Amino acid sequence: MSDSLEPVLAQLAERLAQEAARRYRIGADQARERIERTWRSHQALRALAGKTPSPRALARTRLYRQAASQAKKDIYYRLRRYRPQSDEFSTGLERLRRAVADADCQAACEALARAHASTAERWPDLDGFLERTQPVWGDCATLLDLGCGLMPLLFPFDRVGGRLRRYVACDRDARCIEAVNARSQVPSGVLEGRVWDIDDGWQALEAQTGIQHYDAAFLLKLVPVVARQQPRLLAALADAPADWLVVTGSRQALARRQDISRRERAVVGSFAKRYGLVVESQFETPSEFGLVMRGT
Ligand SMILES: C[S@@+](CC[C@H](N)C(=O)[O-])C[C@H]1O[C@@H](n2cnc3c(N)ncnc32)[C@H](O)[C@@H]1O
């Protein structure tokens, strides 16, 4: 079959893409490309489209309805994924590993971080985020980044001079940690990525790093995720071994065009209340809100 979709199918792809763009955080062009790419290899649907005179008639068929529903699900679940699919991630990681010059390394870090849902969301407000959190990280000698994702790839090590001695970044996602450990334009020995699950406990982390207590810990967009997926681990998070905790949440849903600030604020607020953590200050960027709490 030819590579361009049958006209009736192309019209329906356009309509579906517009609908997806209204509902989800994706542009219509990108949604259409994804839908068309999938439908190009759907032989049965294309054969039916070739025999069906109008988009309206095709839209009523069961085969089309199934394909449309699958296309919407694909878009939704792809948007909900934190990290890009394997191939895309591997290519980015390889580029980062090969980067020698600072500028190449920075470009590779940015590209990877912009492909991870959490850092991609933060990217347009990164300067604002760093400025608002600098009162905490600016004076740290030791910083712990829990459930770090790819944030360590965007951390401005050049702005902390020699003060920061250790930035320990941990996540249960081993691929993220591979990327963190591939970042080379950081003074030697400062950044270390560790594969670690909250469930492993603080002693297991200490055994890996030799650090008992940190000046501050980042829990960026972590508490709402843990509250949803593994609420029993919240008590451990509240016990993070640091003087200060920077706890943030998202203001926008990952996939849907939906403001979730109220819900996420409630989760973070009840985390502080339940575990007796004192909130010292709050901040906000267009995509994220944060509470700075005293650690235990
Ligand atoms: C929403 S992402 C936030 C990533 C990063 N902190 C940021 O804001 O850019 C949540 C991260 O927490 C990690 N995570 C979730 N549950 C975890 C657990 N039990 N132990 C360790 N990491 C966890 C996920 O792998 C993911 O990278």
CA–CA separation, 232 vs 238, rounded Å?
Answer: 11
Q: Which of 126, 143, 172 to mutate to test the pocket of ligand 1 (most atoms within 8 A of CB)?
A: 172
Does residue 208 register a pLDDT over 70?
Answer: yes
Fold of 86-294: Rossmann fold (3.40.50)
Note the pLDDT tens digit of each residue in 86-117.
788 999 999 999 998 989 999 999 999 988 88
CA–CA separation, 282 vs 280, rounded Å?
Answer: 7
CA–CA separation, 116 vs 120, rounded Å?
Answer: 6
The per-residue pLDDT for 2 is 62
Note the pLDDT tens digit of each residue in 168-178.
999 999 999 99
Pocket-forming residues, ligand 1, beta carbon under 6 Å: 82, 118-119, 147-149, 151, 171-173, 176, 197-199, 220-222, 225-226, 230, 233
Closest-lying ligand 1 atom to the alpha carbon of residue 119: 9
Residue ranges of the domains in the chain? 7-80, 86-294
Note the pLDDT tens digit of each residue in 142-161.
999 999 999 999 999 999 87
- Determine the length of the chain: 296
197-210 burial string, b = 16+ CB within 10 Å, else e? ebebeeeebeeebe
